[in-house]
Amino acid sequence: MITYKDLTKGPNFFLMAGPCAIEDEDTPLFIAERVVEITSRLGIPYIFKGSYRKANRSRVDSFTGIGDEKALRILRRVREAFDVPVVTDIHETREAEMAAEYVDILQIPAFLCRQTDLIAAAARTGKIVNIKKGQFLSASGMEHAAHKVTECGNEQVILTERGNSFGYSDLIVDFTNIPAMRSTGFPVVMDVTHSLQRPNQASGVTGGKPALIETIAKAAVAVGADGLFFETHPNPSVAKSDGANMLPLDLFEGLLERLTRLRMAL
């Protein structure tokens, strides 16, 4: 299983990928098995991603999860079955210690990246802390977020770019944010699929522009991102969360092959 020190040690980028939410028991295992096959062949360090609960929803009737403990047990099963680290997001300080019992990386959602108590609670677990840059925040502001972790005695920080708000219902990626955040000395990830969301739609369901996934991913590799983040699903049209901007699982292998060739050419 890869460690924090492994994330920037190899020649390739590392990968965070999985479904948006843990929506059942079989889908996460199916996704993990397929992605492990691909990443093992391509020499890509792999971290399985899955949210045990979705707290940031557009509508009150949106899917939030199958139950915290049930979903966390599924994440642990993925971890043990495929010997890969697992990342999940937390939303309140009380969740940090609970989730840390099951996963290797605690993720701070973009809208919560300024929540000092939440970041500190994650840091004190001793787990790796992945902080997503807020859609409202500059790259330079993320240095302060990272220092909230290190001030707790935890040096294991990842910073993730996921686009900035552009108007009321779109996002735009400023690729200068990646080298700017890398200058902090922490690994930087490009969250490809979330950066292609179209939030605040009239329907109350977030839209997306998945046709641009490869474009954003290639640009991130070209400017030196240490890692890439994708949400993927065997059938995004039936995914219970974020299906509009997901990468179909059957397209993953070809994309990772092309991205690996690009990385090796740099």
Q: What is the mean pLDDT of each run of 10 residues along the chain (266 residues)?
A: 92 97 96 98 98 77 85 98 98 97 98 97 98 96 97 98 91 96 98 85 65 96 98 92 87 98 97
pTM of the predicted structure, to 2 decimals: 0.94
**Number of structural domains the chain divides into:** 1
Q: CATH code at 240?
A: 3.20.20.70
> What pLDDT, on a 0 to 100 scale, did the predictor assign at position 202?
42
Q: Please state whether beta strands 188-191 and 197-198 pair in parallel, antiparallel, or not at all (unpaired).
A: unpaired
> What pLDDT, on a 0 to 100 scale, did the predictor assign at position 205?
54
E strand map for 25-172: 46-49, 86-89, 105-108, 128-132, 157-161, 164-165, 171-172
Instruction: Name the strand (E) or helix (H) holding 232.
Output: strand 227-233
> What pLDDT, on a 0 to 100 scale, did the predictor assign at position 167?
86
List Cβ neighbours of 33 (8 Å cut-off, separation of 6 or more): 82
List Cβ neighbours of 225 (8 Å cut-off, separation of 6 or more): 13, 161, 178, 188, 189, 190
Q: In terms of residue numbers, what domain contains 56?
A: 4-265
